[in-house]
Amino acid sequence: MADVYKAKDHRLNRFVAIKVLKPEFRNDAEFVSKFRVEAQAAAGLSHPNIVNVYDVGIEGSVYFIVMELVEGITLKDYIRSKGRLSVREMTGISLQIAAGLEAAHKSGIIHRDIKPQNIIISTDGTAKVADFGIARAASSDTIHPSAMGSVHYSAPEQARGGYSDARSDIYSLGITMYEMLTGKVPFDGDSTVEVALKHLQEDIESPRKYVPDLPVTVEQIILKCTEKSPDRRYQNMTELIHDLKESLVSPNGDFVRQGGLPADGLTQKYSREDLEEINRRASFENGESGKAPFPGLFDGDYDRRMNYPPEDEDAGDFYGSGEEDFPDEGEVFRGSRKKQRSAGEKRGKHGHEKLVAALSALAALVVGLTILYLVLHTYGLISGGHKTQDGQSETPLVLDLTSDPVTVPDLRGLSESEAQAKLKKLKLGYRYLGEESSSDYASGTVMSQSSEPGTKVQANSTIGYKLSTGPADSLTVPDLAKKTQKEAESALASMGLNVSVDNTRYSDSIAEGRVITTNPGAGSAVHAGDTVTLYISQGKDTQSITVPDVTGKYKDDAVTMLTNYGLYVYVTSQPSDTVGEGLVISQDLKAGSSVQSGSSITITVSSGPSGQSDIVVGPGQNSASSSQTKWMCNAQLNAPPNYSGGNVRITLKQTGAEKTIYEGAGSFPYILNVQGEDGVPTGTVYVYTLDDNGNVTSTTEYDGIDFTQVTG
């Protein structure tokens, strides 16, 4: 559907990802329209677990989206590399995905293509949901062969071509959780249709079949997410997040409530034989045409409510409206009943129907007039007698479509009385819309208005305005590194901040149960009611990993992949007449071999035919033989306070000596993977922000960076 390129934004001096629509889709006007509308909607989302969309545009016939560049690998690749994930790691990743989707759903955006391929795990362990909007625009109302990559995760209503909503994303997330735990999808087949039919017809196998020690609550959560009927699933992401968090505390608790359908008033499922009988009995409406009076009943949408045709002289009524219509024994079939009526009863009913039709027409007229009023009122063509904040009435109800348009003035920064006087002078009404904090406008002045300044409206239109309460009091996130989870939560709660906990990360230097870092980072400005995420250490990751093959890959891609696998990466370069510049020539750990997480690996990168050999260690410039004992750190640096992009210089200071380990465009969180001085267990890192001339504009100190002795 699209090709993705890595590019550099020279204006903001940062790397971005550019997704370009493939040529075969560019001539589809409907698809291009949805592509642009949905991409623009996704651009309004801002959440740490969603890949940000910066811009949408067209250059000639090329449609593109500029997105946040996330250094990492897809969840699909991560699952392949580990075989399957632990319950705690699966839960942590699922919570992040659900948090991102929760924010999207609250903004009215449904992803409709949740799958591990669309989840990116960044180098700092953050899960980010990608491809918002595009997935929805690319969806169709039928199963298509090109959907092979997504049909394994599609909800039954999507496979059937029916309506999909937030609960469809919950189903897809449930399938993704299943795959994280078991290493496989629950339904597979030789074709997309075969897989789709399994989603529609077959029960999902319990993941406990592949993970015998799976906690009962996790099993129940996944099975509830993947119910066939949307009404039996979680109804929103908030409910799912609550149960996922609860499962971490009470893995064998009894808090997952399986969804049930009430007995009365809801759609029941009909078999094909039942539907054929209903159509046969109701064929009177179409004479001898042979066409079924219920189009769509046999296109797979068996859950649709029945819409019966009008009664005919030669046919009975399928349902009655009183005790006299109760069917005799043998006349009931699947909720519908049939009974003959006399001619007199039919004439009485027809008279009743005429009265109902007349009342319906009158009701429709009233509704139409109401809608007309609301439309005119919404677009400012009339204004009503609302009360202002001080109890004064607005301008009286006036409808004037013939006077010359009036230019809306700029009310921002004016006091309420000044704004009202200005509007009255222009024969415009006004409406008080409430108050909100603002750092741009003084307390008591207008901070926003319902119509943009300079736009044209009819005379006597109503202009809404909102007053500023002044800037909100800001808070500073404290440094909570190495604090216990309880201590950190208590400190944030006392400041009026909400707390989110991430239990998915390991650390060689931070003890289990203590804080590794926070998001936003220490020193960041926040406000009461904001949420701060605590990343709690799970201790050292002692799992063995399988070394991937990075030969032939570009250096940056190879370093990212190896770092995500939990390896310390050293990079050397040498000339090569056969391998292109910047590509990996070789690696000292054999691909496919099993090593402990945290082991060191050295890759050799081609510098081209005439390149000069040098050594670069990870993101810095230190070197050491991989066969020696080294003192390494693998820390995460959050962005300095008030940092908004640009070049930085990162230095390390140990035993009085300070050396530069990185200088260039800043990308935070920054993974500090660097060798320190032998036998020195700690150090201090400084991040200097630089202007365009390389001059230092601010300095941020990160004290207490831990170094661990490793053998490579």
Instruction: Report, as residue numbers or ranges, the catalytic residues.
Output: 113
Cβ distance 96 to 49 under 8 Å?
yes
For residues 100 and 120, is the Cβ–Cβ distance under 8 A?
no
CA distances from 568 to 124, 414, 467, 620, 680 (A): 14, 59, 54, 12, 18
Instruction: Round to whole Å and give the CA distance between 204 and 207.
Output: 9
Joined tokens for residue 577: 């007449």
Q: How many residues does the chain have?
A: 712
Rounded to 5°, the CA angle 248-252-253 comes to 85
* 354-384: b (≥16 Cβ within 10 Å) or e: eeeeeeeeeeeeeeeeeeeeeeeeeebbbbe
Rounded to 5 degrees, φ, ψ at 430 are -145, 155
Q: Supply the DSSP string of 7-66, one letter for each residue.
A: EEETTTTEEEEEEEE-HHHHT-HHHHHHHHHHHHHHHT---TTB--EEEEEEETTEEEEE
> What backbone torsions phi and psi does residue 18 show, to the nearest 5 degrees?
-115, 120
Q: Are 616 and 584 in contact (CB under 8 A)?
A: no
The token duo for 354 is 């005429």
Supply the DSSP string of 561-614, one letter for each residue: HHHHTT-EEEEEEE--SSS-TTBEEEESSPTT-EEETT-EEEEEEE--TT----
Tell me the sheet residues that pair with 435: 467
In 130-209, the DSSP E strands lie at none
d(C-alpha 691, C-alpha 672), whole Å: 23
Q: Which residues partner with 393 through β-bridges?
A: 387
In 402-437, which positions are buried (b, 16+ CB within 10 angstroms) versus exposed (e)? eeeebebbebbebebeebbebbeeeebbbbbbeeee
Burial (CB count within 10 angstroms: exposed 0-12, middle 13-18, buried 19+), residue 630: buried
Phi-psi region of 608 (alpha: psi -120 to 50; beta: other; left: phi over 0): left
